[in-house]
Amino acid sequence: MRPYVIVFGNEKGGTGKSTLAVHLSVYLLHAGFSVGTVDIDARQGTLTQYLEHRSKSPLHLKLPEHVIVHKSTFENKADAIADDSKRFNEAMEKLSGCDYIVIDTPGNDTFLSQFAHSFANTLVTPLNESFIDLDVLVKVSGNDIKTMRPSIYAEMVWNQRKERAKNGLKPIDWIVVRNRLNTLYSKNRGDINVVLEALSKRIGFRLGAGFCERVIFRELFLSGSTLLDVPQGQQLSLSHVSARQELRELIDFMKLPGIAAAA
């Protein structure tokens, strides 16, 4: 399928969606693909700001074709839905010549976010190492995973999957990625892993390798650069090398079309 659509989604902010979206887009650009990006979290605009910083870099860094889709301002719900649908479809049409389209979504529930999820060939959900963040995926009473049930975001993804099936489209490849992990193992991580492993079998997502908490991700934002943009002759820190390896492991895990041949 062309373009292949990758959505970064989670109904909670601060999980690293925009940072991962930029890094994946740059990886695909370096691999020789044409890439479009869509920011439907226009109010926060982290992806857009990141790419603006990138466009001003003296290193002449590669850039995707970027489109911003603002949420409708119509007060009438039906009018707002029609307006959101129209402008999102126009963005997708503008980027239809790309090999890949990467979409960044807001950390809350909107029609525009739900609509974007319905286009996903691959959905990536970053998740911080916290039961507070886990709550958007699963509800658990106490520590008993037998009481586990899908939560609001998981139900929304399930509904989008059903709609795709009705329309004869391939199912969404849903990947949950643990993000901002502490470098030291803890009981909390073990408990979260148990719940995620059980939930992945129940609602059908793949559990990807985690990303450790690293200052380097915050440092890169203002320059618009990524782990993949290293000036010739610059020596990499151990943290930089480790973070880059984590990124490559995630991309390998995603099994995106054409990546093995291009990488």
- Encode 187-205 in three state secondary structure: HHHHHHHHHHHHHHHHHCC
Which of 213, 216, 211, 218 has its CA nearest to residue 248? 211
Range scoring the smallest mean pLDDT among 92-96, 103-107, 126-130, 157-161: 126-130
Nearest 10 degrees: Cα torsion 125, 181, 106, 111: 30
d(CA 94, CA 88): 10
Q: Which two tokens stand for residue 252?
A: 């390998």
Q: Residue 97 has what pLDDT?
A: 96
d(CA 75, CA 73): 6
Q: Averaged over 13-32, what is the pLDDT?
A: 92
CB contact at 8 A, 4 and 100: yes
Contact residues for 140 (Cβ-Cβ < 8 A; gap 6+): 131, 147, 148, 195
Which of 232, 256, 173, 242 has its CA nearest to residue 210? 242
For residue 66, name the pLDDT band (cuts at 50, 70, 90): very high
Range scoring the smallest mean pLDDT among 182-191, 229-238, 243-252: 182-191
- Domains of the chain, first to last: 4-262 (3.40.50.300)
Sign of CA dihedral 48, 50, 56, 60: negative
Q: Could you tell me what percent of the chain has a pLDDT over 70?
A: 90
For residue 260, name the pLDDT band (cuts at 50, 70, 90): low
Q: CA 53 → CA 20, 65, 67, 149, distances in Å?
A: 16, 15, 16, 41
Q: Residue 263 has what pLDDT?
A: 42
Digit-coded pLDDT (tens) for 206-231: 998 778 777 777 788 888 989 888 76
Check pLDDT > 70 for residue 256. yes
CB contact at 8 A, 124 and 9: yes
Q: Residue 143 has what pLDDT?
A: 58
For residue 185, name the pLDDT band (cuts at 50, 70, 90): low
For strands 144-150 and 138-141, give the pairing. Answer: antiparallel
Digit-coded pLDDT (tens) for 99-154: 999 999 998 889 999 999 999 999 999 988 777 777 888 776 655 656 677 788 88
Q: Averaged over 162-182, what is the pLDDT?
A: 85
